Structure 1
Amino acid sequence: MTGSSVNWPGGARIAVTLTFDFDAETLWLSRDPANAQRPGTLSQGVYGARIGVPKILETLKEAGVPATFFIPGWTVENHADRAEMVLKAGHEIGHHSYSHAWIDPAFPEQEVEEMERGLDALKRVLGVVPKGYRSPAGETSDNTIRLLAKHGFLYDSSMMAEINPYRITAPDGSSIIELPWHWSLDDAPFLLFSIKTPRPIFTNSHIREVWQDEFREIHRWGGYYNLVMHPQFTGRPSRIALLREMIAFMRGFEGVWFATCSQVAEAWATSQS
């Protein structure tokens, strides 16, 4: 491909969304309930709320760029001050389940509960009715799109079938705009270490190379760059520096549009009409 396949606002060649999954302790509580008795384990999530979110917001403010934060309902209830900081800073808040439990297609009633409890928390605590949804770990079921359409969501960001946004249709005919992501543009595979699932913790230079190489080629094609980060990982000191460097790097290219996920979904929908 030699030109942009989407008519982005202002003639931009590439749309960029900086997205943050603000999981806090849910990342550990949802995988093993026994972690509720392990404050050392949970402190990783506490760090994301206590230090990561404010430093990320500070970095975004200095750069003057918008972002989208996908927040579980549990996190909204238990870290309301930090969720309110995100809201007051003018960033978009999206739905990220209630407890960060992975969707299991064998138990559709649990997916409904996670959806509805998360929506209730966002509305009750923040007054937010989210336009977008991202499933925990990208796990979905045949019910996901139907549920999102039922609740009036504009977009989903849980699938990986494209570079540009696309429309995905459920078996019952309901559909929603999909903002694709990919594990290579997610900080977790590079930084999520635990005793139970040990893995290498990669250097900034390694992550930077992957992220920048992907950006260069998507920019060449003309498309959509969806960077997925987590306050408990990208909120670490050197990773904040990496975020700052990535924003500066992308700004060195022509036709880069930094936007919220809702703005990208709306622009894509307009380009298709």
Structure 2
Amino acid sequence: MTHDLTPRPLNPAPPAPDFAWPGGKKSAVFIGFDVDAETAWIGNTPANVNRMVTTSHGGYDARVGIAKILDLMADLSLKGTFFIPGWTAEAHPAACEAIVAAGHEIGHHGYLHKLPDRDRLDEAYDEIDRGLAALKARLGVVPVGYRAPSGENFPELLAHLTARGLRYSSSFRDDIRPYRHLLADGRPGPVEIPVNYAFDDWNFGMTARTSPRSIFGRDMILPLWRDEFAATHDWGGVTTMVLHPQVSGRPMRWHILRDFLTEVAAREDVWIATGAEITAHYEACEAAR
């Protein structure tokens, strides 16, 4: 594949439109969990399937992390969106069924958590289609939202998501408010609920035995989350969280997340919503315009 380096905006989507959040709220918070389980360790590195200690990081999801996150969300009476790879739904059906039973939204997160690659279109499309099939067969769910495994996307994949009925994506990092993608042929694509990278717990709470990267504790994370949320709230944006049960389901990090969400939930000027709810609101405002 040749690479077109012509100077241009690489995301052709128009700017995020102005619209009000429901009920006079000043900003929105989107609590999203990526239930990667072992796929985080084997999807892009298949040889890890024979490294049981390495994959045990992901095994924490079904053994401990998911249940603890569900307890936290129930204690705070909050609903979130759980992006589940198809492989995870097949490997850990009971843990994933508990998410559905608790009334949370289920989003699409690929099948084996493979990085979408524009040079391997058939593989990228298969990840979408196998993931959809697995979520339907194992959980009885047809998701409306998608978060890209390993956080990547490209024009053909956006078109494939649209063709498969996915109404929103939550992967891009180029705005603080939702906007609608523009496909290469000029048609409207999915709504984007952009991610705030500061709220990706993997960056601060996950490492591996072979990695020199440090992990960070409360004194680093909670002030960062508080300050970033306060500024996003002041600008009327959406605070999109990218959380992982194998990270934020760990004991100390569970308490950090609990304290942050407790503070946010106590406010009367913040709309805490699922991806589907935010998308439905965006679509209603779009239709009214």
TM-score range relative to shorter protein: over 0.9
Decide which moves more: 77-86 or 164-173: 164-173
2:145 is the counterpart of 1:132 = yes
Mark the runs of 5 or more structure 2 residues left unpaired by the alignment. 1-16
Mapped partners of 1:216, 1:185: distance in 2: 13
2:129 is the counterpart of 1:108 = no
Amino acid at match of 2:193: L
Within a 5 Å distance, the mapping from 1:241-260 to structure 2 comes to 241-260=255-274
Work out which structure has the larger RCO, using CA pairs closer than 8 Å and 6 or more positions apart in sequence. 1
2:12 is the counterpart of 1:28 = no
Amino acid at match of 1:185: F
State the shift of 1:198 in Å: 2.5
2:98 is the counterpart of 1:80 = no
Asked if the contact 1:5/1:222 (under 8 Å) is kept, the reply is no
SS in structure 1 of the partner of residue 155 of structure 2: coil
Say if 1:196 and 1:139 are closer, same or farther in 2 by CA, change over 3 A.
farther
Q: 2:192 aligns with which of 175, 178, 190?
A: 178
Asked if the contact 1:14/1:257 (under 8 Å) is kept, the reply is yes
Mapped partners of 1:90, 1:69: distance in 2: 11
Asked if the contact 2:28/2:237 (under 8 Å) is kept, the reply is yes
Equivalence for 1:190: 204
SS in structure 2 of the partner of residue 143 of structure 1: helix
Equivalence for 2:254: 240
Asked if the contact 1:6/1:223 (under 8 Å) is kept, the reply is no
Q: List per-residue Cα deviations over 1:26-85 (Å, max 9, x = no partner).
A: 011113211111111111111122100000000000000100000000000000001100
Mapped partners of 1:106, 1:206: distance in 2: 39
RMSD of the alignment, in Å?
A: 1.3
State the shift of 1:14 in Å: 1.1
State the shift of 1:196 in Å: 3.2
State the shift of 1:197 in Å: 2.9
Mapped partners of 1:50, 1:71: distance in 2: 16
Percent of aligned pairs sharing the same letter: 41
Q: 1:201 aligns with which of 215, 222, 243?
A: 215
Amino acid at match of 2:137: R
TM-score of the superposition, structure 1-length normalised? 0.96
Q: 1:46 aligns with which of 26, 49, 59?
A: 59
Equivalence for 2:232: 218
Asked if the contact 2:114/2:150 (under 8 Å) is kept, the reply is no
Q: 2:30 aligns with which of 3, 13, 17?
A: 17
Asked if the contact 2:191/2:279 (under 8 Å) is kept, the reply is yes
SS in structure 2 of the partner of residue 228 of structure 1: strand
2:132 is the counterpart of 1:123 = no
2:284 is the counterpart of 1:270 = yes
SS in structure 2 of the partner of residue 159 of structure 1: coil
SS in structure 2 of the partner of residue 122 of structure 1: helix
SS in structure 2 of the partner of residue 69 of structure 1: strand
- Please identify runs of 4+ aligned residues in structure 1 that moved more than 6 A: none
Asked if the contact 1:13/1:254 (under 8 Å) is kept, the reply is no
State the shift of 1:252 in Å: 4.0
Asked if the contact 1:15/1:258 (under 8 Å) is kept, the reply is yes
Equivalence for 2:72: 59
TM-score of the superposition, structure 2-length normalised? 0.90
Amino acid at match of 2:223: E
State the shift of 1:142 in Å: 1.9
Mapped partners of 1:80, 1:208: distance in 2: 33
Amino acid at match of 2:172: M
